[in-house]
Amino acid sequence: MKCDEFIKEIEIDSYEDLINKIYSSNFNRKEYIFRGIGNVKYDLIPKALRRNEFDQAVINKYISSDFIVNWKVENNWEELLNDSLKNFKIDYEEYCDMINDEQDTLILDKYGFIQKETDKKILCSVGSKKELQIKRELHLLLRFFNWIDKTGLEINVNTSIRSLIHENIKFTPESWPHPDFFEIISLAQHYGLPTEALDWSYRFEVGLYFAVKNILKNNRDEGVLWALNYKLLENKYLDKPLDNKILFYRPQYYLNNNLRAQKGLFTFVINEGQKIDYRPLDKILFEDRDEFNLNPNENIFYKFIIPNKIKADILKELYRDGWSEKFMFPGYMGVVKSMKNKVKSDDYIYEPPNKKSILMSFSKYEIDKIKEGKNVTFRKFRLKKPIDKIFIYSRDSKKIYGYYNSHHIINNTIDHYLQIFKEQSLISEEELLDKYGNVDFGITIQLSDLNLFKYPFKLHNYNETNEYSFLEKVNSLKLLLNF
């Protein structure tokens, strides 16, 4: 069985196209749950197990420096070797000396690195990387519970968790994530803390919203809407034990307005033994499909790819259908956020990611030359990326006279264009060489391609202080992206 048969990938070209596919007779949407991700490159890996671009665990920045544990050496000291050497706090010889001393334990910090000594309290002992990971997550969850409980916020936990309220992470559950912690994990995950849960929704519109909303921050990545056939998996688990299982958990909606509005639920991967499964959820199901009794003709995943250029249009359609922040996040803040983002989405203009447009200042002398129909001018800029349009702006009148969209990035000297300049510009050869003779990078403008406005218009709220500005970086210039 091929992966593309197990995960059906479809690139959509519009909101209507996606709707047609979701409501088609070939897709029973009631059997699927949905997860939207703003960047198609991100895997289906829980945040607690992710690593950043520096290969550091994402969870580290949420763990306090008081997290100090003992590692029981015994026969598993090799597990620490690579991680500790990367930290450069201890070299290989020192490490070997410590091991050769046959110490019973080594001191680890929150990163899992060996420390020679510490003046902080040892919280507990661990004997494997999986146990260390569980303790880190427990430390984070119990601090979360302790803080929100002291604040007086409502939270539903059983007495076994309340007995651990003072961050007693000496407790080690038999399986992880443990069912006693599902509710608090769901709450922590929903509000951004790293856990071993992945959040999903019964409604595709909710997943779609999270797949496209980052366009309001000028994100240039493709988005993705995942659809997982949870009914198919649930039917496989009627007599399956808890270990090595994918669980679907729906938290108690009455405790959380956001989760209730978003029709949210979570997936947990329960692993047996001492190993941590860092594989994305889709790979776990694909590579272990025999263990999950999945038939070759069963589509477990759909992966709808959302091009960046249609994200804004989709968001506008979602807003029109009522799927805005005031619905997703019931309350005053949701209403305010919805009002703000609705305006941003209405004003949003898509600009191809590999092209830039600029406003370039010209002197009165140059503007007059443009009006006389001269064909060529030259600017010494190191513009390494392609420029889509260049708008002609006069500092004197504060008016825009037009724009052109053809140009050349010059990577050699001005001599190559010298004859053209002598014939078609008002600058003499002496003036040209005096001004640009030592320039090896620049931009040549073919003014014959200039789109002159019949009525030049004035920018009242803009004062150009530079020789040029990128339109997408200046709010008062973004209106020019319409041209």
pLDDT tens-digit series, residues 254-291: 888 888 999 999 999 887 666 788 899 998 888 887 77
Say whether pLDDT at 438 is over 50.
Answer: yes
Three-class secondary structure of residue 169 per DSSP: coil
CA distances from 108 to 118, 184, 415 (A): 9, 27, 65
185 is a domain residue: no
Indicate if 131 and 42 belong to the same structural domain: no
Say whether pLDDT at 125 is over 50.
Answer: yes
415 is a domain residue: yes
Question: Residue 122 has which token pair?
Answer: 């040892």
CATH number at residue 452: 2.30.130.30
178 is a domain residue: no
* Predicted local confidence at residue 413, as pLDDT: 41
CA pair distance 324, 336, nearest whole angstrom: 11
Say whether pLDDT at 393 is over 90.
Answer: no
Bond from prior residue into 330 cis (ω within 30 degrees of 0): no
179 is a domain residue: no
Which of 118, 143, 165 marks a domain boundary? 165
Number of domains in the chain: 3
Indicate if 363 and 471 belong to the same structural domain: yes
Indicate if 374 and 272 belong to the same structural domain: no
Indicate if 382 and 465 belong to the same structural domain: yes
- Name the one residue in this structure whose structure tokens are 């250029």: 309
- Cβ atoms of 442 and 407 closer than 8 Å: no
- Cβ atoms of 338 and 222 closer than 8 Å: no
CA angle 256, 261, 264 (to 5 degrees): 75
CA angle 299, 308, 23 (to 5 degrees): 40
Express each pLDDT in 363-375 by its tens digit.
777 777 777 665 5
95 is a domain residue: yes
| Average pLDDT value over all residues in the chain | 78
Express each pLDDT in 327-362 by its tens digit.
999 989 989 999 998 888 887 766 665 667 888 888
172 is a domain residue: no
Indicate if 368 and 327 belong to the same structural domain: no
Helix %, strand %, coil % of the chain (to 5): 40, 20, 40
Express each pLDDT in 10-49 by its tens digit.
999 999 999 999 999 888 889 999 999 999 989 999 999 9
* Domain coverage including residue 132: 54-165
Indicate if 345 and 200 belong to the same structural domain: yes
Q: Return phi, psi of residue 145, to 5°.
A: -60, -45
Which of 331, 350, 369 marks a domain boundary? 350
* Predicted local confidence at residue 373, as pLDDT: 62
Say whether pLDDT at 208 is over 80.
Answer: yes
CB-based burial label for 129 (10 Å; 0-12, 13-18, 19+): middle
422: confidence class by pLDDT, cuts 50, 70, 90 = low
Q: Return phi, psi of residue 441, to 5°.
A: -130, 145
Express each pLDDT in 98-119 by its tens digit.
655 555 677 888 877 777 778 8
Express each pLDDT in 135-154 by its tens digit.
899 999 989 988 888 888 87
23 is a domain residue: yes
Indicate if 402 and 339 belong to the same structural domain: no
Indicate if 452 and 360 belong to the same structural domain: yes
What residues have CB less than 8 Å from 225, skipping those under 6 apart? 18, 34, 35, 36, 204, 207, 208, 211, 303, 304, 306
Which of 293, 318, 350 marks a domain boundary? 350
182 is a domain residue: no
Cβ-count burial 211-226 (b if 16+ within 10 Å, e if not): bbbbbeeebebbbbbb
Torsion of CA 71, 73, 75, 76, to 10 degrees: 30
Strands 7-11 and 301-306 come out as parallel
Q: Which residue has the higher pLDDT, 58 or 293?
A: 58
87: confidence class by pLDDT, cuts 50, 70, 90 = very low
Indicate if 459 and 391 belong to the same structural domain: yes
Indicate if 40 and 83 belong to the same structural domain: no
* Predicted local confidence at residue 305, as pLDDT: 96
